[in-house]
Chain A
Amino acid sequence: MPTYNFKSIQVVPPAKDFIDIVLSKTQRQTPTVVHNGWQITRIRSFYMRKVKHTQTTWHDKLTQILDDFPKVEDIHPFYGDLLNVLYDRDHYKLALGQLNTARNLIDKLAQDYIRLVKYGDSLYRCKELKRAALGRMCTLMKKQDASLKYLEQVRQHMSRLPSIDPAGRSLLLCGYPNVGKSSLMNRLTRADVEVQPYAFTTKALYVGHLDYKYLRWQVLDTPGILDRPLEERNTIEMQSVTALAHLRASVLYLVDVSEQCGYTLAQQAALFHSIKPLFTGKPVIVVANKVDARPLDNLGPEEQALMQGMASEAARASGADPADCLMSMSALSETGIAEVKTAACERLLAHRVEAKVAGKRITDVLNRMHVALPKPRAGAAKPRPPVIPPGVAEARARRDAGEKRRTERDAQEEAGGAGVYSADMRKQYDLKDPAWRYDIMPEIFEGHNIADFVDPDIDAKLAELEREEEELAAAHDAEMAALAEGVEELGSDEEADLAAIRKKKKELVTAHRIRKAAAGNRPVMPAKHGSRGDKTVGRMRESLGALGIDTSAAEARLRSESRGRKRARSAARGGEGGDSEMADADGGAAGGAPAKKRVHSSKSRSMSRGRALSTAPPTPSSGLKDAAQRNKAVKMADRGQRLRNKAARAGEGDRVIQTKMPKHLFSGKRGMGKTDRR
């Protein structure tokens, strides 16, 4: 159920202000600094963001306006027609439609320009594209100025419309101008509508509220209506007609019987008959006003007939008794106002209930309702007297006999009064045996809380536990026997072996740790190339002997292969594998010349020049196989030591200004001429 309150529509600024708002928002909310030196992608996204942001702002603002204004089709027909009467439906819809179109155009335009900026090749071009985009958006909106201004006026007017609930209970006052509608309104409610002795004092709908039967009623004061064709009616009258046509209210048609308003009774009756179609299906009461100036009895017979004619028409339109449809009152002397109010409200209530009962929704309510009507039981003849327990009957008898019950207060008074007497709670204990009342319950026993063991069926549980215990004990014995059987203890020599193994392991671990600690960060030399000092025959015999291996055969083989010092020199020449190639080359080139003189294969090299790399074999403990390997190692070490320009400091390849301030340019006295010439 929508509420009709148009006060919350936001202000619609005129085009100029609107443009300022949107552009300054873009300016404030997007970055403003851009540099030529930026990457082109960054520049593009900078401008794309501007265009996009402007477009979003326009879009949001326009959407806000379009959502705020009610759609004529969606609201209650009363308001729909009221909008039509007041603001011209076509104009209203056109204005909103134009804003909608402008919104779509701006969206599309922004999309196009963003695509263009995406391919902009310079800051300048991107900027121009952005300018064009924003400019076109603003031009578009500038053209909507008329619509915006119109909408703003509509908004201001709408915010002042009375908030009428079209579905609520309402009383509607209508009649010729100046008949006293506003006076009655002021009497009925706390509204303060202007009352003046000239026509068309009230120019719009007014709403006031009153309470009747604890319900809230709205009273609508309408502008006066003149008796003329619908097309000729002006906006002021049309508001009344709209209210009459669309609101299911109780209509009070006011008639000025004194004719002070300037219209005759006949004219007022004619108006009633011409707007009669608007009354069908509504409770209508013809109210004769200003009876203080001219009582109803003073009316002539034609006038009486006119009044009766109106009353019978009203009765026909609303389906009621003609006598109920004619009432008299005076807003000035306040006579008959309460009666008119009561009658109008009662008629409307009855009418609404009728409408509800006639409608479809009543079945929903009936389906959910059930009224229970209890029937007397079959054997109801049998009397069912109240049951009084014998104990109660006894107590009552004692009480009737004059016996007084002894209360705790009596005990207190006897024992010395309040503060001295302390009530004994235990005597009230409700136990199986009253003798237990003063028992002292043990709480702790052998490190256990007795309360934790209390259980009504402890016997059964204990028996079960003991039975289980026997089974468990038997099972345990069996298991232990099986375990003992399975385990075969170690013999004494096995124990000794085990001890030796453990000792050996411990030694190994210790030795390894020492070695590791001593090694520090130095590279570990493979054992193959390590110092040979400890690899002696004696040691081999000792360690392998300990493992139970006979080393005599190995020792004998070693002895047979070892050489005496004497043979070593003569055999050295042929035995050296590393020099054999060079020796061959020497042989080919110089025939019988001593091989050791020639070292280089190339003759271009001076013999007097020192060698970059040594040709001498590496020392045995260096861990290197031969001279080639050693030279490779030296080269690698050299390369490793070469400093790379890691810190990217100035190098010889860099441009350099040798002297920042050449002496000859900066010293000496200046004579004539400029400072940059000498």
Chain B
Amino acid sequence: MRIDKCWFCSSAIYPGHGITFVRNDATAFKFCRSKCHKNFKMKRNPRKVRWTKAYRKLAGKELAEDATFEMERRRNRPEKYDRELVKKTVQAVEKISGIRKKRQDRHHERRMARAKAGQVAQDKAALEQQIHLIRAPASLRAKAKDAPAKEKVKVAAEQRAGDAMQE
């Protein structure tokens, strides 16, 4: 009995769930639900389907490489049972998954912060480069030169902008 990973979306498959396809070269493909199975039958590549774990990891949306993943690995060499070792292992499971959770959260936080910074930079660039759409360069120059004229022009422009928005 073990919790398997879906071949397509990498979600956990608990015992009694999902479906397994065994190809004639004895490769077993496990699927968590019919959605994943159908996608497989359509020969879709999970790395190119945006909702799969494989895509998200490949695109940097989720933590992909980490020591905690290294510690949870399918082992093909059996260890002899040792009560002490199992005890330690069970305790370690909690610790490792806690650490992994924290790291994933940090990854997300970092990603969001970077996106925010990028958005602000973009906005600033847009303000810089496309201001001519709402204000003529001549008026901007005039504004830069003398303050009183600028005041007058600016009021008029803002009035116009406001009118436009109400339309």
Of B16-24, B33-41, B42-50, B126-134, the one contacting chain A is B126-134
From the candidates B85, B109, B156, B163, name the one contacting A480 in the complex (CB within 8 A): B109
A276 is an interface residue with CB less than 8 A from chain B: no
Q: Which of A74-82, A360-368, A428-436, A527-535 contacts B (4 or more CB under 8 A)?
A: A428-436
Contact of B120 among A445, A454, A456, A487 (CB under 8 A): A487
| Given contacts A473-B102, A549-B139, A450 and B81 within 8 Å (CB-CB) | no
Q: Give A505's nearest chain B residue, CB to CB.
A: B133
Residue A414, interface by CB 8 Å: no
CA distance A483 to B111 in the complex (A): 11
Instruction: State whether the Cβ of A479 lies closer than 8 Å to any Cβ in chain B.
Output: yes
In the complex, which residues of chain A have a beta carbon less than 8 angstroms from the beta carbon of B103? 469, 472
Cα A204 to Cα B133 with chains together (Å): 117
A546 CB contact (under 8 Å) in B126, B140, B161: B161
> Is B61 located at the chain interface by the 8 A CB criterion?
no
A376 at the interface (CB under 8 A from B): no
Interface residues of A in 451-466 (CB under 8 A from B): 451-456, 458-459, 461-462, 464-466
- Report chain A residues within 8 Å CB of B109: 476, 480
Name the B residues within 8 Å of A411 (CB-CB). Answer: none
Interface: A648 (CB within 8 A): no
Within 8 A of B (CB), among A473-491: 473, 476, 479-480, 483-484, 486-490
| Whole-angstrom distance between the Cβ of A178 and the nearest chain B Cβ | 77
A550 to chain B, nearest CB (A): 7
A501-B95 contact, Cβ under 8 Å, with A431-B80, A490-B120: no
Asked if B75 and A448 sit within 8 Å, CB to CB, the answer is no
Closest to B143 in A: A548
Whether the Cβ atoms of B88 and A504 lie closer than 8 Å is no
Cβ–Cβ contact A431 & B93, under 8 A: no
For A472, list chain B residues within 8 Å (CB). Answer: 103, 106
Main SS of the interface on chain B? helix
Secondary structure call for the A interface? helix
Instruction: Check if A444 is an interface residue, CB within 8 A of chain B.
Output: yes
Establish whether residues A549 and B89, one from each chain, have CB atoms under 8 Å apart when the complex forms.
no
Contact A487–B164 (Cβ < 8 Å): no
Tell which of A453, A487, A497 touches B93, judged by Cβ atoms closer than 8 Å.
A453
Is A451 a contact of B2 with CB atoms below 8 Å? yes
- Provide the residues of chain A in CB contact with B81, threshold 8 Å: 429, 431, 436, 439, 441
| Residues on the A chain within 8 Å of B164, using CB | 500, 503-504, 507, 546
A469-B160 contact in complex given A450-B93, A453-B89, A480-B110, C-beta closer than 8 Å: no
| Cβ-neighbour of A454 out of B68, B75, B97 (below 8 A) | B75
Size range of the chain A interface in the assembly: 35 or more
Q: Given known contacts A433-B83, A444-B3, A544-B136, is B90 in contact with A450 (CB within 8 Å)?
A: yes
- Report chain A residues within 8 Å CB of B83: 433, 436, 439
B131 contact set on A, CB distance < 8 A? 497, 501
Q: Is the CB of A452 within 8 A of B86?
A: no
The residues of A that contact B123 with a CB separation of less than 8 Å are 490, 498
Report the 6 A-B pairs with minimum CB-CB distance, sorted nearest first: A548-B139, A546-B160, A547-B136, A548-B157, A548-B153, A504-B133
B-side residues, CB < 8 A to A, are: 1-3, 12, 67-68, 71-75, 79-83, 85-86, 88-90, 92-97, 99, 102-103, 106, 109-110, 113-114, 116-117, 120, 123-124, 126-127, 130-131, 133-136, 138-140, 142-143, 153-154, 156-157, 160-161, 163-165
Given contacts A454-B75, A546-B134, A548-B140, 4 further A-B contacts (CB under 8 A): A431-B81, A444-B3, A446-B97, A454-B79
Provide a sorted-by-A list of 12 A–B residue pairs whose CB atoms are within 8 angstroms. A436-B83, A446-B93, A449-B3, A452-B72, A469-B103, A480-B109, A497-B127, A505-B133, A547-B136, A548-B140, A548-B156, A549-B138
